[in-house]
Amino acid sequence: MSASIPVEAFGPNAQSVDVPVLDSHLHHIEEGEGSPIVFLHGSPSSSYLYRHVFRALKGQGRLLAVDLIGFGDSGRPAIDYELADHERYLDAWFDALDLREVTLVLQDYGAAFGVSWAARHPDRVRAVLLAEPVIRDIESSALPEAFVGAQQLIRTPGDGEKFVVEDNGFLTQVFPGAFLQPLAPEDLAVYQAPFPTPESRTHLIRFPRNLPIDGVPATSVHYLARNEEWLRTSADVPKTLLTYEPGFLLTPTIESWIRENVANIEIRSGGAGVHFVQEEQPQGIADAVVELLKRSQR
C-alpha cells in the first residue's frame, strides 16, 4: 500500500517503518533514541494526529507513533476489527520491537488499548499520559445531542452502514466537526485518504458502534473494566490526565472517577480543545510529556 502519511510532517529525521505482525503489518513513524515514547491514536484518525507533538518532543526519547490495524498505512487483514483484534496486533507490535520502559501517550481508543497493554505488561511501563480517553462507560446526558443522534444512527443496522460505509458520513461530517477550528483541507485529506471507497470503509463502523455509552455495548464496558485494578494499584507508574474546554469524551463523571480511583495521577488543564486535541494543543501535550518524564525519574 502506498504511503498516505507524509513523514516529513513529523520532522526531517523521522522515518516510516512497517513492522510485520501476525498476518499483516503495523506502520509507525519513528524518530530519536532512548527510552520509547509511544503515541496511540483512536477513531477514525492515524499517527498523523501526533505530528506536531512529535516535533515538539524531539530529543526526549525514541518517539514512535503507530497506526492501528486497518488505519493509516497499517495493513487491512480480513478480521472483525473488534477491540480484541486491535489489542492482538498492538501486542504483537510491542513485542516485535521489544519495547520496554515505555511512556504511553494515549487518546480516544488509544487509551483503551494503551491502558490494557500497561495492565498486562506492568514491568514494561514507565509513565502514562491520557487526553480525551476512552477509559470508562460514557453517560449520554453529558454528550452533545448531535453526537448522540449520530451514534443512534450508526448503531441502527442498515442505516449505520449507509451513513458510515456508503456515504462516508463519519469521515466527512462527524470527524470534521470535532475541532474548535476547521482542519486545513490538506490535513483533512490525509485523514480521509486511506478510505476512498465503501470497501475500504467497512471496518470504520466498528469503533463508533463499540463506544461504550450508557452501558452499551456491554462487551466494551467489560473490556475497559478489566483495567481498573491496574489503574488503582499502579502507584509506581506516574500518570497525567489532561482536561480540555469544552472537551468531549472526558465527561465530569469520568474525570471524577479518574481523580478518585487512578493511582499517582496528576490532572492539569490542557487548554481549549474538543477531542482531537493533538491538532489544537500540541505544545501543551508535549510539555506535559516532558513533565511526566521528570516525574518518572524521581
Write out the catalytic residue numbers.
108, 132, 275
If residue 294 lies in a helix (H) or strand (E), which one and from where to where?
helix 282-295
221/136 Cα distance (integer angstroms): 7
**Which three cell numbers, joined as nine digits, stand for 201?**
470503509
> Phi-psi region for residue 288, left (φ > 0), alpha (ψ -120 to 50) or beta?
alpha
10/284 Cα distance (integer angstroms): 17
> In the β-sheet with 239-246, what is the strand arrangement from edge to edge?
15-21, 24-31, 62-66, 36-40, 102-108, 125-133, 239-246, 265-273
Q: CA nearest 238: which of 267, 264, 268, 257?
A: 264
Query: What is the full DSSP assignment across 209-221?
Result: HHS-BTTBSHHHH
Burial class of 23 by CB neighbour count within 10 A (0 to 12, 13 to 18, 19+): exposed
Cα 232 → chain centroid: 21
